[in-house]
Amino acid sequence: MLAINQKQEHTDSYYAATVNEKTDYPLLEDGHSADICVVGGGFTGTATALTLAERGFSVALIEANRIGWGASGRNGGQLINGVSGLSRIAKRHGHNIADMIWDIQWRGNDIIYERVKKYGIECDLKPGFVQVATKQRQLADIDEYVEERVRHKHPFKYEAWDREQTRDNLGTDAFLSAFACYRDGHLHPLNLCIGEAKAAHELGVKIFEQSPVVGIDHGARPRVKTMHGYIEADSVVLAGNAYSQFEPKLLANLVFPAGTYIIATEPLSKEIAYSINKEDAAICDLNEIVNYFRLSADRRLLYGGACNYSGRDPASIKAFIEPRMLKTYPQLKGTKIEFEWGGKIGIVLNRIPAVGRIDNNIYFCQGYSGHGVSASHMMGEVMADAIGGTMEHFDLFANEEHFRIPGSQWMGNQIIALGMLYYRLKDML
């Protein structure tokens, strides 16, 4: 049961280049004790650790590389309500839990807005997220988004745009219509993750970086071991997501890593930035294989997508993504691309996060299937609730059955890659 012994610094992303402060927490050396040991310093780990610290638990957090090193610090920065697969849970349980599901759907957003304000985290948080239709059949989705907010008396601003409004607000003819939600939004994910870790540390959480976990001894008080030290705790939370290799007998082939890639332009003029995004919102299309984009605080266009299950990164991310950007915004031809980067997100086949317990005191949560910014914060609270003895929301996810593809994870990824060809063809129709 060995961790990936990376001990790497951040990838060369726009986020790493514009981080508010670099982290430098110590290596884990010698033995330590805590109520809870959290493994993984991404959003799930930092959100869980901060929630537990706010509730008075003593917490140790171990990160193999740097806080926010994985998808939490490299993603598109889109704050999108909900958890992939919630509709499947709702169908299984019926109308009795409809209100609970709706509340869960927004809890991650609420936590982020609350923490940014409470702890003064500077992460360029901005309301506004727009889903755009590229095909006639997707117009029904936009009608449904409006209807569900009316049904739940959603208190925050939302609106549907027709084709003319969409063209005017987004400066492109690529889309047929759009739905804008202003409780969703966008942010600088690495600054948020580092800010939450700092808040947790100030509340007493012991944080260790560059300390890959090499094994976990089970027992009444599990021992989480690195090469140079260990943490003994009453409970452990595994929060490694796409990069986790722990508990292979139970967790193998539940979550499959998929590559996703982003480019960032040079800063655009105020006039051009306004012409392509009047609302300064995050944008995502309604296709199965999505493109997503937004403006950064310094007016760069961050454009990403092209989810890849093959395990092979493109030779040039710029060459892979820039044509997609120019298809949406041909007027940006000649604009310099100053950053290009990629990373892995965790995909679960039924799109419901893999949640559970091992031996009653080792908790795990992973696999947000592209909705990790908000969902990880909601799940951090669910993990903390469960550790404190409140199991209602935890059981809602833990009782879901997950399909595993037999064989190695490499084989599983190739099977999924073949399946994604179907969705690419569907998007083209």
Q: What are phi and psi of 216, to 5 degrees?
A: -130, 120
The pTM of the full predicted model, rounded to 2 decimals, is 0.91
Among left, alpha and beta (phi > 0; psi -120 to 50; other), residue 354 is beta
Provide the pLDDT for residue 403.
Answer: 61
In a domain, 307, yes or no: no
In a domain, 302, yes or no: no
- Domain of residue 378, residue span: 1-125+187-254+350-398
Exposure pattern of 412-426 as b/e (b: 16+ CB <10 Å)?
Answer: bbbbbbeebeeeeee
Contact 134, 177 (CB under 8 A): no
In a domain, 336, yes or no: no
3-class secondary-structure state, position 256? strand
Tally of CB atoms within 10 A around 255: 27
With a cut of 70, list the residues of the chain below it in pLDDT: 1-6, 84-85, 94-95, 241-253, 308-311, 349-351, 402-429
Residue 24: CATH number of its domain: 3.50.50.60
User: Count of domains in the chain?
Assistant: 1
In a domain, 356, yes or no: yes
Provide the pLDDT for residue 421.
Answer: 46
Provide the pLDDT for residue 89.
Answer: 72
Provide the pLDDT for residue 224.
Answer: 97
Exposure pattern of 102-134 as b/e (b: 16+ CB <10 Å)?
Answer: bebbbbbbbbbeebbeeeebebbbbbbbbbbbb
3-class secondary-structure state, position 205? coil
Provide the pLDDT for residue 202.
Answer: 98
Which residues lie closer than 8 Å to 173 by C-beta, 6 or more apart? 167
Provide the pLDDT for residue 259.
Answer: 83
Distance CA 305, CA 81 (A): 19
In a domain, 283, yes or no: no
- Of 144, 46, 1, 73, nearest to 341 by C-alpha is 73
In a domain, 361, yes or no: yes
Contact 145, 180 (CB under 8 A): no
147: exposed, middle or buried (Cβ count in 10 Å: 0-12, 13-18, 19+):
exposed
Provide the pLDDT for residue 11.
Answer: 93
In a domain, 298, yes or no: no
3-class secondary-structure state, position 405? coil
CA distances to 9, 64, 344 from 260, rounded to whole Å, are 19, 21, 6
Distance CA 377, CA 125 (A): 15
Contact 199, 308 (CB under 8 A): no
In a domain, 76, yes or no: yes
Provide the pLDDT for residue 289.
Answer: 82
